[in-house]
Amino acid sequence: MPRRRATLALLALSVGGFGLTEFVIAGLLTEVAGDLDVGINEAGHLVGGYALAVVPGALVITPFLMRRPSKYALVVLLGFFVIGNVLSAWAPGCAAMLAGRIVAALAHGGYFGIGAVLASSLVPENRKASAVSVLFAGLTIANVLGVPLGAFVGQQFGWRAVFWIISTLGLIALAGLILLVPRTEPERNQLPLGQQFRALARPQVLASLLATALVFGGMFGVFTYIEPLLRDVSGYSAGAIPWLLVLFGAGLFTGNILGGRAADQNADNAVLVLSILLPIVILILGAVAGMPVPVAILLFLLGLVGFATVPGLQARVLRHATGAATLASATNIAAFNLGNTIGVSIAGAAIAAGYGLRSPTVTGAALTLLGLVVIIIARIASQRTQAREVRS
């Protein structure tokens, strides 16, 4: 297709990715909890509930929509997203808001799994990786700008205004998809659906998915409760929170670039090194939480090191799930979000048990260390398999 139209189509896909950040609520946790009359740990379940709902969306809805043209599939998924966010904006109580978050989450895994394949089909062979990065750039920019901007808007106009804005962005992305993205047929070079699910059950794929869940779960268990930590432990004012979240988002953006370059060189080594660094960063963050300047630096490093693991983890899953690219991509997104649910739940339980707002750094570090153990075991098993293949 013409380059100009391909660029506009990719931009429409990216706008949809921008809206699909589940973490905008992390910068509004205190406001949401107060307005809905629930505790901080209960409000945290609005992040964890979203993340958990990504899993059935990826594993049930995505395989069903993979049989349809990609444009049709993405329109359906963005429809879920818009309806869910409208429900969240209107919600009179925590249960209704959680329901809205769950409906919106059903779009998440499939949007990035199917969208990545569609984005790569819009451009020549030598630009496919760049096209996919444009899709995911929407999600990255959402964390760099959307989360802190959401915190600012929420403080000025109320948290519900944020969800009305997100709903509007979803409608804009939906219009862009309908008007700009061409109709393409489903992929023909994938295994039959049953064999794709069997590909996901390969030991190395399962190990990669488990590592993804544990490493990312540890990181976002910490991040979900970062706003009350910055206020009540570090001593920052409410007005400073959006700027601190910009620091975290800048770390995400930088980590995405550096992690991608490292994974291009050697994905397994990149994942191993970063998974060693991440629990160290988390524990230091907890240790210096009462010191405003060091905690700001550690917030940036948390985003950088944590998100730098993403390209390597994604590459590892895809390498071992040959013939099931779309489903594997969506399933890995589900693993990220399942890990988020686990991390948020454990961190929230620690706070509810009276261990304080620093306790998520301990639970987060423990999860990432478990992920590191899985990575090391999988790496050793892979090396032994390769050695046996060489000998035979």
Per residue in 6-35, pLDDT (tens digit) is 677 777 777 776 655 666 776 788 888 889
Q: Give CA–CA dist 143/244, Å, rounded.
A: 12
Q: What pLDDT is stored for residue 347 in this prediction?
A: 93
Q: What pLDDT is stored for residue 2 in this prediction?
A: 59
Confidence at 279, pLDDT banded by 50, 70, 90? very high
Q: Where are the alpha helices (DSSP H) in 122-224?
A: 128-141, 147-157, 159-180, 193-200, 203-224
Q: Which amino acid is at 274?
A: L
- 217 versus 69: the higher-pLDDT residue is 217
User: Which whole number is the average pLDDT over 36-57?
Assistant: 82
Q: Which domains are seen in the chain, by residue range?
A: 1-188 (1.20.1250.20), 189-392 (1.20.1250.20)
Residue with tokens 């901080």: 40
82 touches 311 (CB < 8 A): no
- 363 versus 155: the higher-pLDDT residue is 363
Residue 303 has pLDDT above 80, yes or no: yes
Q: Which amino acid is at 80?
A: F
User: Which whole number is the average pLDDT over 328-353?
Assistant: 86
CA nearest to 149, candidates 166, 137, 167, 173: 166
Q: What pLDDT is stored for residue 266 in this prediction?
A: 84
Best mean pLDDT range from 101-115, 318-332, 337-351? 337-351
Q: What pLDDT is stored for residue 114 in this prediction?
A: 80
Burial of 82 (0-12, 13-18, 19+ CB in 10 A): buried
Task: Encode 338-363: b = buried (16+ Cβ within 10 Å), e = exposed.
Answer: bbbbbbbbbbbebbeeeeebbbbbbb
Q: What pLDDT is stored for residue 53 in this prediction?
A: 83
Q: Which amino acid is at 370?
A: L
CA nearest to 16, candidates 103, 100, 80, 102: 80
Q: Give CA–CA dist 314/316, Å, rounded.
A: 5
CA nearest to 165, candidates 256, 107, 89, 222: 89
Per residue in 135-154, pLDDT (tens digit) is 666 666 666 666 777 778 88
Q: What pLDDT is stored for residue 109 in this prediction?
A: 80
